[in-house]
Amino acid sequence: MTDTPAPPAPSTLVAAPAGEEDADWSDAAWELAAAQQTAALPPPPAAPAAEAEAMRQALAGLTGETKTLSQEEIDRLLNFGAPEGGGPELSAIQRLVSSTTVNKDRLPMLDVVFDRMVRMLNTSLRQFASTNVEASLSKIEWLRYTDFQDAIELPALIGVARAEPWDNQMLVTIDSALIYCMMDVLLGGRRSRPGRIDGRAYTSIERKMTERMMKVVLQDLGQSFDPLAQVDFVFDRLEVNPQFATITRATNAIIRVRIAVEVERRTGHIDIVIPYATLEPVRGKLVQMFMGEKFGHDTVWESHLKNELMRSKLELVAVLAETKVPLGEVLAWQKGQSLKLRISPDSTVLVFSKTIPLFAGHMGQRNDNIAVKIDTDLDTKQELIDGLLSH
């Protein structure tokens, strides 16, 4: 039986003995050696208060303790605290001015227009590419024009178009993935894998193909607006620099419509950007909830009311002559006094309804009654009817 070696000194690190002597080390000796080695290591750096609190919360979660963090603690952990420099908080006016949110009237009919456009675009793109193409409406969102410019992926091809009757412009952009996919399909590379987008400039063939594709999109968009208004979107030019395709102020509101297109199991998207000012001429129709809404007008009831008014009795007044008399003379009139009208038998007589003149004619006699022969229609009957309808 061999003697058990003495435990190592506190200031030294002892390696475990090799061979059969490993079994003679007691558990106390191994624990003492591990404690000495740990004590020789440098202490860890002190953690900030926020990190220490996070570590404490993590350890509490491991041990089964649960604690709900407050919003202030979450902001402190994620560095969402007060801005650097300790500047004063922004006032309500400053926050309102610097806000990037665009709040505009909702245009329900715009969803109907672009849904109709997507259905037409499926057929048009299939004929354009001679293969199966699936287009779907991804989203319609309100932005500021500067936000759209910042989100353009370069290199880009941006088509500028004019809305002829509305006297304004719009943009159409096609992403690189869809352009390269269409090039492969049109040039016979249907089974090729999608190539890597290397950021090179577009060739003249790619530009011509993209221009043709944009014209197809604009044609379908114009036909989609036909139930609301007649409009033609005419392709103007193709730009590669977003700065040269600026069509409105940076802070103006725009509508960006993203259409997802899938060709040969490869996907891309088309963006249609319409400034809010472009849609202003048809905004009254776009805010309708359904096609043909009249905003409270009932044509059937108005027609019935008009027919009933035409059968109603109306009091007419024939005015033989009009003259101006000073108020002093009127106050001096006495009973039995005669007034000289200075009119002749051929003078024109006006027929009034209240204050609206309707007819002009001459006075005469018929069947022992004084009559007025109407010679001229003053074309004010519709004005009388409209006045009655408005009341």
- Extents of the domains making up the chain: 108-286, 299-390
Beta strands in the chain (DSSP E): 133-144, 157-163, 168-174, 233-239, 253-263, 266-275, 317-319, 348-353, 356-366, 369-377
- Per the listing, tokens 């009311």 go with 305
- Distance between CA atoms of 244 and 241, rounded to whole angstroms? 6
CA dihedral sign, ordered 206, 208, 213, 214: positive
pLDDT of residue 92: 63
| CA-to-CA separations, 336 to 24, 28, 331, 333, 343, in angstroms, rounded | 154, 145, 14, 9, 20
Question: Distance (Å, rounded) from C-alpha 252 to C-alpha 102?
Answer: 9
Q: What is the dihedral of CA 89, 90, 95, 99, to 10 degrees?
A: -80
**What's the CA gap between 114 and 110, in Å, rounded?**
6
| DSSP code, position 243 | G
Cβ neighbour number for residue 80 with a 10 Å cutoff: 10
Q: What does the pLDDT average to over 336-355?
A: 82
- Indicate the DSSP class of residue 48: P
- Out of 3.90.550.10, 2.170.190.11, 2.40.50.140, 2.30.330.10, which CATH number does the structure's domain 299-390 have? 2.30.330.10
**Integer Cα distance of 279 and 275 in angstroms:** 7
Domains 108-286 and 299-390 share a fold: no
Supply the pLDDT for residue 72.
67
| Half-sphere exposure (Cβ direction) of 65: Cα atoms closer than 13 Å | 8
**Average pLDDT of the chain, as a whole number:** 75
In the three-class reduction of DSSP (H, G, I as helix; E, B as strand; rest coil), residue 45 is classed as: coil
Query: Token pair of 46, please?
Result: 């002190």
Q: Strand pairing of 253-263 and 133-144?
A: antiparallel
User: Which has the higher per-residue pLDDT, 53 or 230?
Assistant: 230
The alpha carbon of residue 137 and the mean position of all alpha carbons in its chain are separated, in whole angstroms, by 14
- Tens of pLDDT, residues 87-105: 455 566 655 555 544 445 5
Note the pLDDT of residue 226.
85
Query: Binning pLDDT at 50, 70 and 90, where does residue 245 land?
Result: confident
For the segment 357-378, the average pLDDT, to the nearest whole number, is 83
How confident is residue 323, by pLDDT bands cut at 50, 70 and 90?
confident
pLDDT band for position 260 (50/70/90)?
A: very high
- Cis before residue 155, ω within 30 degrees of 0? yes
Name the residue with tokens 């059968």: 311
**Residue closest to 272 by CA, chosen among 225, 218, 226:** 218
Domain 108-286 CATH (choose: 3.20.20.70, 3.40.1550.10, 1.25.40.10, 3.40.50.1980): 3.40.1550.10
Model pLDDT, residue 1: 47
358-363: average pLDDT:
84
> Using N-to-C axis directions, what is the helix angle for 108-129 and 204-224, rounded to 10°?
140
Region for 43 from its dihedrals, namely left if φ exceeds 0, alpha if ψ lies in -120 to 50, beta otherwise = beta
- Hey, how many other C-beta atoms are within 10 angstroms of the C-beta on 189? 14
Q: What would the pLDDT profile of 6-38 be if each residue is shown by its tens digit?
A: 554 444 444 444 444 444 555 556 566 666 655
The half-sphere exposure of 196 on its side-chain side, counting CA atoms within 13 A, is 1
Number of H helices, E strands in the chain: 12, 10
Yes or no: say if 130 and 234 are a contact pair by the CB < 8 Å rule: no
